[in-house]
Amino acid sequence: MTQIRGFVRASRRPGELGVHSVDHFNLAVPDLKQAEVFYGAFGLDLRPEGQGLGLYTHGHPHRWGMIVEGPKKKLAYMSFGVFEDDFAQFRARLQQHGIAQLDPPRGFESNGLWFRDPDGILLEIRVAEKSSPSEKSSVVNDVPTSGTQRAPNRSAAGISRPRRLAHILVFVRDVSRAIDFYSRVIGLRLSDRSSDGIAFMHGVHGSDHHMVAMAKSDAPGLHHLSWDVGSIHEVGLGAMQMADRGFSAGWGLGRHVLGSNYFHYVRDPWGSYSEYSSDIDYIPATFDWEAGDHPGDDAFYVWGPVPPPDFTFNYEAA
């Protein structure tokens, strides 16, 4: 856990009911071997588990995701982590809102709460350790030095290895409806939005500027999984290691406005993306972030290449 590795205590906003983390995601893809090649090249640690693959970051005990085989690419579910003493209140909240509780999907033993969001995306709320950061993530190699070559030689550059899952961006049919649901039921807070096109939400107990984001489409789906790396150097290095392995399609290098992170998106074999992200804004548990509504063309990215024409196409709906 983040707090064990860096000895950072899990942050918490007292008296507020909200999930603290995206504990993990479950993604179905048509070819597990392809997934192993793609996410392995991306710098993740894949471990065979049950019928699928567990997605880990090297040197970190948390399992950020599961990849299972399915007829086509589909975000199977998102699982949110909550503090143990909040769990009963979440159960009561679901009942208050008349949200039907479902059995866990077949093959997934779990005593969490299972239900669907207004777009039909399957969600779980479970008791878990806080895996979202409890302080601003560090940026490495940010020390001014002189009198020495600071860039590694190409042969010594190594590869980029993400430190943790940063966020998930999903497609929804109605962004305002999603903001309402994820605020009232899940207990996230709106960070920023661009009208009805996209919304970014953070955790009340301290999280990055967004742990979940929603973009408008005509069907639900996964747009991207974002992975935190330690520096802009590692964003670029990651892009290079993926291009070297044949995964050159994507978008970057650039800098987002909302979240302020540096990014490079690599297109996965199924038309969604994995993002190398560095230096994203952080919203502490004690801070009331004022949500803004930013015109899309002024807030998508500060600088970077023009995105590919199908960057926001929902291949899961096709």
Instruction: Tell me which residues touch Fe ion (CB under 5 A).
Output: 226, 275
Least CB distance to Fe ion at residue 275 (A): 5
Least CB distance to Fe ion at residue 277 (A): 6
Supply the Cα-derived Rg of the chain in whole angstroms.
19
CA distances from 224 to 95, 155, 169, 211, 315 (A): 31, 30, 5, 12, 12
User: Measured between alpha carbons, how far is 282 from 107 in angstroms, rounded to an integer?
Assistant: 36
Least CB distance to Fe ion at residue 210 (A): 7
User: Measured between alpha carbons, how far is 237 from 140 in angstroms, rounded to an integer?
Assistant: 14
CB-wise, 114 or 261, nearer to Fe ion? 261
Least CB distance to Fe ion at residue 12 (A): 25
Least CB distance to Fe ion at residue 287 (A): 21
CB-wise, 52 or 203, nearer to Fe ion? 203
**Residues 29, 66: contact at Cβ < 8 Å?**
no
User: Measured between alpha carbons, how far is 53 from 129 in angstroms, rounded to an integer?
Assistant: 21
User: Measured between alpha carbons, how far is 47 from 53 in angstroms, rounded to an integer?
Assistant: 5
CB-wise, 13 or 160, nearer to Fe ion? 160
CB-wise, 165 or 186, nearer to Fe ion? 165
Closest residue to Fe ion, judged by C-beta, is 226
CB-wise, 32 or 215, nearer to Fe ion? 215
Letter string b/e over residues 252-269, b meaning 16 or more CB atoms within 10 A of that residue's CB:
bbbbbebbebbbbbbbbe
CB-wise, 207 or 226, nearer to Fe ion? 226
CB-wise, 80 or 83, nearer to Fe ion? 80
Contacts of 88 by beta carbon, 8 Å cutoff, 6+ apart? none
